[in-house]
């Protein structure tokens, strides 16, 4: 898969904006910090970790001159799927992130979140931050 192959289907070209990318990385860092606050529910911690993952994936896409078409369904899935192309993330981590995306969808409609999955999301997002910052710096 080439990112150019996805133009008009699920991606569009954008001008890479260093300030916007930095804001996304900073927001992701704040969400990771929020996800570690033990005084809030596992569901909210999970949501914060998931939001950080999406912010990082979005920053990586924008740094490469792309953005998802949010008017099309599946833009969260697409952001995760492009991480190997945008920051060189390994497929095993992409699989974990996609499972978290699916769990987030289930949680939104059922209210169920297993704390183990929240911890898994925190680890994945934390590692993703390090990869993104190193790649995008």
CA 15, chain centre distance (Å): 20
Give the pLDDT confidence score for residue 113 in this predicted structure: 62
- Residue 130: pLDDT band (50, 70, 90) is low
Range of the domain at 130: 3-136
Question: Helices 18-35 and 115-136 meet at what angle, rounded to 10?
Answer: 150
Reply yes or no on whether the pLDDT at 23 is more than 70.
yes
State the distance between the two ends of the chain, measured CA to CA, in whole angstroms. Answer: 25
Give the pLDDT confidence score for residue 93 in this predicted structure: 85
Closest-CA residue to 64 (of 7, 127, 26, 128):
7
**Bigger pLDDT: 35 vs 118:** 35
The number of folded domains in the chain is 1
Give the pLDDT confidence score for residue 100 in this predicted structure: 82
> Quick check: 43 and 107 in contact, CB under 8 A?
yes
- Residue 42: pLDDT band (50, 70, 90) is confident
Reply yes or no on whether the pLDDT at 10 is more than 70.
yes
Give the pLDDT confidence score for residue 22 in this predicted structure: 93
Cα–Cα dist 64/76, whole Å: 17
* CATH (domain of 130): 1.20.120.330
């Amino acid at each position: 898969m080439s990112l150019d192959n996805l133009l008009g289907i699920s991606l569009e070209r954008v001008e890479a904006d260093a300030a916007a990318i930095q804001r996304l990385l900073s927001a992701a860092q704040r969400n990771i910090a929020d996800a570690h606050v033990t005084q809030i529910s596992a569901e909210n911690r999970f949501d914060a970790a998931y939001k950080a993952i999406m912010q990082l994936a979005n920053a990586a896409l924008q740094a490469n001159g792309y953005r998802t078409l949010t008017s099309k369904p599946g833009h969260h899935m697409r952001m995760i799927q492009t991480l190997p192309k945008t920051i060189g993330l390994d497929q095993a981590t992409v699989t974990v992130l996609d499972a978290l995306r699916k769990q987030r969808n289930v949680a939104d409609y059922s209210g169920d979140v297993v704390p183990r999955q929240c911890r898994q999301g925190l680890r994945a997002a934390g590692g993703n931050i390090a990869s993104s910052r190193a790649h995008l710096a």
